[in-house]
A and B are shown apart, each in its own frame.
Chain A
């Protein structure tokens, strides 16, 4: 009897109980919310569309995490700062002057393209610099060390940009063309959300082409498969890693512009929370997998936007939207604990995970 007791995997048991509790809570909340139904169908659709738009941005940022993890097996904690740096610089240096002179309203396409080009350029520059200074010399070091430099780089860039552009929240100029909404399947779709969704789709297709069809993309894939063999095949590892960082940062730079269009404000600290959430998205989809990052981002965005009203309100929790971030973090924690390989990811060996 005693021996049998000892053979039980207590930790496994605790984890199972935890899993069951979460499922019961979510199910209970959902059922209660559905029965009670405090919202109209129209509101639910709005939640959903907002979730998709938000999720698209997460997806774009998440790709950076996933690409870098795929190549270096390292969590680039500073990735949220790549997202922040581009759009902050572009807002201050291009968007605000253009908004003030009215150019942004007269030529919105050219104006936004200029903002996007500068944002991407700054994000990529910051990423390349970080990689060169903080990560490359430590590629052979024990794993904790690059993580610590990544944390350092993250704070460094936050406060560097705070020093450059001030600590206040900076308003991104309004663009007349993007105001209002268009009818869409019986509901109204905000134009900004439409831009976000379309831009994300374009970027994802472009990325897919780059990774799958070009020679450089092939090199990146080879390096993420096996660095040593790739080096033997004549691939310049340092260059491939730099390009990986640059690609991820470019995606983050575009995500930054989309973020500014939707929320119309930028701030030196704006990279932190989206960064963590995009990381959640990357883990959710299976870190190391590019389609996984896209799906994970979308899933997280929807979950976060619908979740509070769906199952937290059903549980009778006051002001559930305050707990939006808790949902994301809880999801992160539970995905990492219960399914670290994510939705699409391959099973990472213990040494990798």
Chain B
């Protein structure tokens, strides 16, 4: 080995050690934070594998695992074995803040300062073994996990992937075992289930079997998968088209029988997801296609809901129309509101537009709450006795039945968005999004294009609001707060701005998941916030990006990733 390469190695070792220390400190801060804000304790109530693993433990050990893996990544190529050492360092540093917390909680009553540092939390952290033994156990567990994660990095990637998929799959099944076992019981009877689930969690043996099964299948798939893909691609185009037709048909049939597979509770969840998909598709036109950041989107949802409420309610405020007759009015009201609010903001861009629209949204909500409009829309008492939709003499009362109304709305919105995107108008929107001045210069009528975006976006939201009102049968101003707008914005960002499947994926992740994890609703917004930041840092194009957007963001990111000479580049904007 030459002298210079040895110095190089020493330097890279020192740098990667520093990285390992930083990762360890970060892991410690994260683990301490999730413990102190009460997440570990609350999540600990959800058991994944009976007597072995709770969700709280997964959360607690996720940070040292991830950071141990990252620290191992920094190890220089020539000395990969050193990464185990880095895992050790990382785990040690991650455990220290928690041990300090345990010691402090043992000495003082920390609860008078920090609401969530409860005896139950300390017991979880120390595995119920008392402060000293427990701390040592905690240290051992942290170091063990971190070293294991570092060792995991040393495995070749074709082994790593299936293992990871198997682990996430098993944990996922464990997480939703209550819902899963409930549904499976309805189909297969309670007999087999005894072998898989026990009191809302997986049995350890089943968990192991599941893990091996999932990992095995995914290993097989990663080996054979591309061969299947190639074979399909080699088919003549006509056959490919038939295959695509068949799969779309199957998908539609699946959607149509979905509520019967899902049962009442999951259908309700699906309906909520559907309403957000509808809103997301609308906001996707405004933000994703036309690039107009609208934070007051909930206003149109509220207008749609209140219009339906006032027109159909059987109460004293209502006019007793039927749902189907009221929907066009609700949509129309939302569209007019979209245009009316759109006109004054036509000349604004970017963040100013965001703030103004947010202002509009808040104004509408405060007005709905105030005494000023009380005679019309009921103030804080809201509108009550809104009937459910009816077909003939059949009232759609159950969530399974309402599902079809939501589904029809979503189909309509997907179809309209898809056709518009491919149409002249869609291309005009994208031109406006890319550069307004250039778009205007090539002859695009900015006023018309932008107002159409606001109007169509508002229409979807109004439709969603109308279904929402009749689904809940009563509406109150506090259902229409800023969080709804933020929620919708988040879901299209997480899914991928401007992408139609992205909206659906985003709604499932951001609306469906929290519905299934209701007991953790307290931390929903915290995780949204963290997700938004992480998403923007790591994957700004979303989970299912549209092609154009992906290209755009990736090229924009280039100076960011390569770093050097950054300060001479164009400033933000």
Contact = CB atoms under 8 A, between A and B. Distances in A.
B372 A164 contact: no
Interface residues of A, number: 68
B523 interface: yes
Contacts of B352: 336, 340, 353
A350 B525 contact: no
Interface string B102-130: 00000000001111100000000000000
B155 interface: no
Contacts of B570: 140
Per DSSP, chain B at the interface is helix
Contacts of A20: none
B351 A279 contact: no
Per DSSP, chain A at the interface is helix
Interface string A322-353: 11011001101100110010000000001111
Interface in A160-177: 160, 162-167
Interface stretch (B36-44, B167-175, B309-317): B36-44
A92 interface: yes
A199 interface: no
Nearest to B534: A152
B442 to A, nearest CB: 18
Given A149-B533, A151-B486, A92 B572 contact: no
A147 to B, nearest CB: 5
Nearest to A161: B37
A139 B570 CA distance: 10
B63 to A, nearest CB: 15
B371 A156 contact: no
Given A145-B536, A164-B115, A325-B366, A351 B573 contact: yes
B293 A160 contact: no
A186 interface: no
Interface in A130-159: 133-134, 137-149, 151-159
Interface string B546-558: 0000000100110
B344 A350 contact: no
A237 B70 CA distance: 29
B344 A138 contact: no
A144 B350 contact: yes
A318 B293 CA distance: 34
A191 interface: no
A262 interface: no
B354 interface: yes
Contacts of B343: 11, 14-15
A121 B573 CA distance: 32
B573 A352 contact: yes
Given A138-B537, A231-B568, A148 B532 contact: yes
B530 A156 contact: yes
A161 B493 CA distance: 25
Given A228-B568, A329-B362, A319 B370 contact: yes
B571 interface: yes
A141 B39 contact: no
Residue in B366, B370, B529 with the greatest tally of chain A CB atoms within 10 Å: B529
Contact of B569 (A140, A157, A337): A140
A159 B525 contact: yes
A160 B115 contact: no
B348 A337 contact: yes
Contacts of A337: 344-345, 347-348, 356
B570 to A, nearest CB: 8
Given A144-B350, A330-B363, A227 B486 contact: no
Contacts of A165: 114-115
Interface string B496-516: 000000000000000000000
Interface stretch (A27-35, A72-80, A214-222, A294-302): A72-80
B533 A134 contact: yes
A317 interface: yes
A160 B533 contact: no
Contacts of A325: 362, 366
Contacts of A93: 113
A18 interface: yes
Contacts of A154: 529
Contact of A319 (B371, B537, B557): B371
Contacts of A75: 351, 354-355
B33 interface: yes
B529 A155 contact: yes
Residue in A10, A133, A134, A159 with the greatest tally of chain B CB atoms within 10 Å: A159
Contacts of A139: 566, 571-572
A106 to B, nearest CB: 21
A164 B560 contact: no
A151 B532 contact: yes
B345 to A, nearest CB: 7
B36 A14 contact: no
B537 A149 contact: yes
A158 B37 CA distance: 12
B573 A336 contact: no
A323 B370 contact: yes
- The 9 closest A-B CB pairs, nearest first, are A163-B37, A152-B532, A156-B529, A166-B115, A155-B529, A159-B526, A329-B359, A152-B533, A152-B529
18 contacts: A73-B573, A75-B355, A134-B536, A144-B291, A147-B351, A156-B529, A163-B116, A164-B116, A228-B568, A319-B372, A323-B367, A323-B370, A325-B362, A326-B366, A329-B362, A332-B355, A332-B359, A337-B348
Interface of A: 10-11, 14-15, 18, 72-75, 92-93, 97, 133-134, 137-149, 151-160, 162-167, 227-228, 231, 237, 276, 279, 283, 317-319, 322-323, 325-326, 329-330, 332-333, 336-337, 340, 350-353
Given A143-B351, A145-B536, 12 more contacts: A11-B346, A92-B114, A143-B350, A145-B540, A156-B526, A159-B525, A162-B37, A163-B38, A329-B359, A330-B359, A336-B359, A353-B352
